[in-house]
Structure 1
Amino acid sequence: MKEFTEAYRLKRAKDKVENLRSFYIHFTCYIIFNTTISTIKIIDDLDEGKTLQEALFDFGSVFMWLIWGIGIAFHAFSIYGFDYFLGKNWESKKLKECIEEEERFFNQKE
């Protein structure tokens, strides 16, 4: 049983590292892509005669940051916590309960 526990812990740790890596890549792409697109859009708006304030707070630019930002927030919540409802803690507790229940069932048969 100890090998199973160690293997399970190792797999969980590897999964967590992969998820963190995925989040860092996602967040980096978010920053680079949105900064590039927003900069190009602001320069174009300034060339068209808009003021800096109008160019910075253009609905298209802000909307892009906001919508993708919501996705980033959900990704971060899934990685860093906020497992109030059916999260990782719930999953591990349920898994432990099921294992204990099966052990009790098999011990009663013997």
Structure 2
Amino acid sequence: MTVTDQNERYKYAKERVKRLKGFYWHLAIFIIINSYILVNIYISSSYNNEEFWNWATFTTLFFWGIGMAMHAWKVFGTQFFFSKKWEEEQIEKYIKEEEFERQKWE
């Protein structure tokens, strides 16, 4: 493998990590903000004897959820859960771990 190939692989990996990090930050903010909104609406509706289970309560969650799904699609593509690539990466990871453990005991 040439130095150029290694540099390209490094750039690709770095960009992928950056996209993953961005997605996970987006997901964390999504959970925190929507939890805050729903708890406030629940407390407010119970205090004012209003209905909690209606469309208006969940509009932010719904539309932001669509945005989250699009962000996930952009980051993970069509192979979101347990893709063939994921399986291969996990197999490779466990093989490396086993080799490391074997070398440690030799």
C-alpha distance in 1, partners of 2:57/2:16?
Answer: 33
The 3-state SS of whatever aligns with 2:44 is: helix
**Which of 76, 81, 94 is the equivalent residue of 1:80?**
76
Residues 21-69 of structure 1 deviation map (CA, whole Å, 9 limit, x = unaligned)? 100000000000000011001110111112xxx31x2322211101000
Q: TM-score, normalised by structure 2?
A: 0.69
C-alpha distance in 2, partners of 1:60/1:35?
Answer: 15
Structure showing greater Rg: 1
Please list every run of 5 or more consecutive structure 2 residues that lacks an aligned counterpart in the other structure: 80-106
Q: Alignment RMSD, CA only?
A: 1.6
Please name the residue that 1:100 is paired with.
Answer: none
Count of residues in correspondence between the two structures: 79
Please name the residue that 1:71 is paired with.
Answer: 67
C-alpha distance in 2, partners of 1:41/1:4?
Answer: 55
Please list every run of 5 or more consecutive structure 1 residues that lacks an aligned counterpart in the other structure: 84-110
Residues 74-104 of structure 1 deviation map (CA, whole Å, 9 limit, x = unaligned)? 1111111228xxxxxxxxxxxxxxxxxxxxx
How do residues 34-45 of structure 1 correspond to structure 2 at under 5 angstroms? 34-45=34-45
How do residues 11-90 of structure 1 correspond to structure 2 at under 5 angstroms? 11-50=11-50, 54-55=51-52, 57-82=53-78
Q: TM-score, normalised by structure 1?
A: 0.66
**Identity percentage of aligned residues:** 30
Residue identity in the other structure for 1:23: F
